[in-house]
Chain A
Amino acid sequence: MSAVAVPTVPSTTARWRTWRKQAPNYLFVLPHFLFFLVFLAYPVLFGLYISFHFWEILSPEKPFVGLENYQYLLADGLFFKTVRNTVVFASLTVVAEVILGLAAALLVNQRFPGRLAVRVIFFAPRVLSVATAGIILQWLMNKDWGFINYGLSLIGVQKVNWLGDPSLVLPSLAGATTWWVVGFAMIIYLAGLQNIPETYYEAAKIDGADGWQQFRHVTLPLLAPTTLFVAVTAFIGHMQVFGQIYLMTQGGPDYSSMPIVMYIYDNGFRYFRMGYAAAMAFVLAAIIMLITLVQFKFLGRPTEY
């Protein structure tokens, strides 16, 4: 009747009957599985295949070159620069996103007049497209005509070249991206905060804990899974940044803000070195997975009380 495992070996006819009964069930998962095969599984394997070849889109010859693309990668100074840029950018943004998202959630977690409006405003930038956010922020950070430098000039601070100074461009981009995405972290943290039972806080109060101690010993540990979720998803996303940087600095000045994905794009779609670009994409994937595993190690331990 059901497909629950029974200690006896079913007869051949019984097995055939079960199979006939269950066969149509495959049809439900089939559409999704087809998409998965065509747009995920096969491309990943195909990409790996390409990375072992000299794959110029215009030339008919695509010779097998083994690990040559990867070897070239290891000798490519610009590649290492983009890796450094991307890791710095992603780390700055994730840290800012986690801290400010949590702070915003804590702020909004109690009643005060206009609280709902504040929450709506905090999340609003997240619904803008990456291009819109990039256009606004680039103009805001413009050295001569941007509003940020105007505000600074009002308090007597000199104009800062946010996007044109190689030592400032990555933090500026991180700050801009944080403005754009922090609403997401805030909402996730709000849900996590509201999931913490009052009883824990009451118990802590009985034990004599003040506000700060409650935060350290109740809130923070119980938010660890939430923090893991925010940090991991944010990191994976920001490691693959492209849009806002392409729009705001085009990778400049002098490649000091160029992320890995933009280098992949340049190699694949401007220089048509698709084999090389494909190899780079796999190395990027490896880097991301490695750091994600490290994050799981540090933040993944479940908290039991």
Chain B
Amino acid sequence: MATSVRSTTAVPAALAPPRAAPRWLRPRLKARQLLRPTLAYVLAAVMALPIFWMVAQSLTPERDIYVWPLRLFPERPTLQNYWNVLYSRPDLPLLRWYFNSFLTAFASTALVLVVASLAAYGYARLEFPGRNQLFFGLLSTLMIPGAVTLIPVFLILRELGLIDTYWALILPHGTSVFAVFLLRQFFQSIPKELEEAAVLDGCTRLQVYWHIMLPLSHSALAALAIFSFLGSWNDFLWPFIATNDLEMRTLPVGLTIFQGEYWTERGLIMAGASISTLPVLIVYAFFQQHIIRGVAMTGLKA
């Protein structure tokens, strides 16, 4: 053991700190660090598998579907199922269902945004007798489950002759108390000084609403729009009840009927499901930042 000028105390070799292994021997990553990403990738694969399987089956010719062993990737991929589901089944107006769903979702979202933002501004910033009592009264109805209103609303709309129309699908969404609550919270966080300045400049209430409250809360409005759109798009029970005519059905209801009638033709069904899914997934892929942020925001505010 060479004695160095620096060390004044003798350190036995056994207790000396181990010298680092040469660089080429050091493992790149600790095994523990790999655990998290690996688990995440595996879980993500499990989550994605059903969607992947749906698309794979949609590209499989009918004669290859009921064949064992199953294959994840079709042996003879074909677009025949897509052709069939779109053009050769006149009793399955898939594109019309698509249009119905889209129109309903779009219109009900617009309705909610307008009605709820007006009301939220009223409850947040405008004074009138009974305001707070009214608002908290509304809030208490959030506890009421939707199932209770199904039959009565159906009977009311039936009396008005509105069953099987777009009105029946769109109008009930205007009641959303949650939307009013969310926007009110948001409006209350906007500094009063801005409004007061506008009023001093001679703005009417409506102008304050339009030029100040709305522009400043566009992130909350966007989150609400996304929520509302997705909610309407996914809604099953109400459109199921409110429509009878095959042409007026929305996509989820139509697909269910489709599956009920053609349940042995799996390729066809999977193609129908894929057609209804892929655009939604594409929109999601582009807007997922906003969508996810919007969902998180509603959770925080609640």
Contact = CB atoms under 8 A, between A and B. Distances in A.
A35 B296 contact: no
Nearest to B283: A127
B151 A242 contact: no
Nearest to B295: A187
Contacts of A2: 127
Task: Provide the main secondary structure of the chain B interface.
Answer: helix
Interface in B249-273: 251-253, 255-256, 259, 266, 269-270, 273
B280 A29 contact: no
B251 A117 contact: no
B190 interface: no
B169 interface: no
Interface stretch (B2-10, B15-23, B76-84, B231-239): B231-239
A50 B302 contact: no
A46 B40 contact: no
B116 A23 contact: no
A130 B40 contact: no
Interface stretch (A77-85, A166-174, A282-290): A282-290
A44 B43 contact: no
Contacts of A110: 36
Contact of A281 (B44, B150, B266): B150
A107 interface: yes
A277 B151 CA distance: 8
A150 B155 CA distance: 47
Contacts of B180: 32
A160 interface: no
- Chain B interface size band reads 35 or more
A191 B300 contact: yes
Contacts of B143: 289, 292
Interface in A38-66: 38-44, 46-47, 50, 57
B24 to A, nearest CB: 23
Contacts of B36: 107, 110, 112
A284 B144 CA distance: 10
B229 to A, nearest CB: 10
A115 B41 CA distance: 9
Contacts of B50: 125, 136-137, 140, 179
A264 interface: yes
B230 interface: yes
Nearest to B33: A112
Interface string B145-174: 111111111011000000000000001101
Nearest to B45: A121
A129 B233 contact: yes
Contacts of A190: 296
Contact of B174 (A39, A50, A117): A39
A243 B255 CA distance: 11
Interface string A14-27: 00000100111110
Contacts of A226: 299
Contacts of A107: 36, 39-40, 43
A254 B114 CA distance: 46
A179 B149 CA distance: 29
Task: Provide the main secondary structure of the chain A interface.
Answer: helix
A124 B51 contact: yes
B124 to A, nearest CB: 10
B200 interface: no
A299 interface: no
A278 B152 contact: yes
B197 interface: no
A122 B193 CA distance: 42
B123 interface: yes
A135 interface: yes
Contacts of A50: 151-152, 155
A261 interface: yes
A284 B40 contact: no
Given A107-B36, A132-B255, 18 more contacts: A19-B129, A26-B128, A31-B118, A31-B119, A33-B119, A33-B134, A39-B153, A112-B37, A114-B40, A129-B255, A130-B234, A130-B236, A136-B273, A139-B53, A145-B68, A145-B70, A187-B296, A243-B252
22 contacts: A28-B126, A29-B122, A32-B180, A35-B175, A40-B177, A46-B155, A108-B40, A110-B36, A114-B37, A117-B44, A118-B40, A118-B44, A120-B285, A122-B47, A124-B281, A128-B51, A131-B251, A132-B273, A132-B277, A140-B50, A191-B297, A226-B299
Interface of B: 36-37, 39-41, 43-44, 47-51, 53-54, 57, 65-66, 68-70, 72, 114-116, 118-119, 121-123, 126-129, 134, 138, 141, 143-153, 155-156, 171-172, 174-175, 177, 180, 205, 209, 230, 233-234, 236-237, 241, 251-253, 255-256, 259, 266, 269-270, 273, 276-277, 280-281, 284-285, 288, 291-292, 295-297, 299-300, 302
Which are the 10 A-B pairs with shortest beta-carbon distances? A28-B122, A243-B236, A32-B119, A43-B152, A3-B127, A191-B296, A131-B252, A35-B174, A188-B299, A25-B126
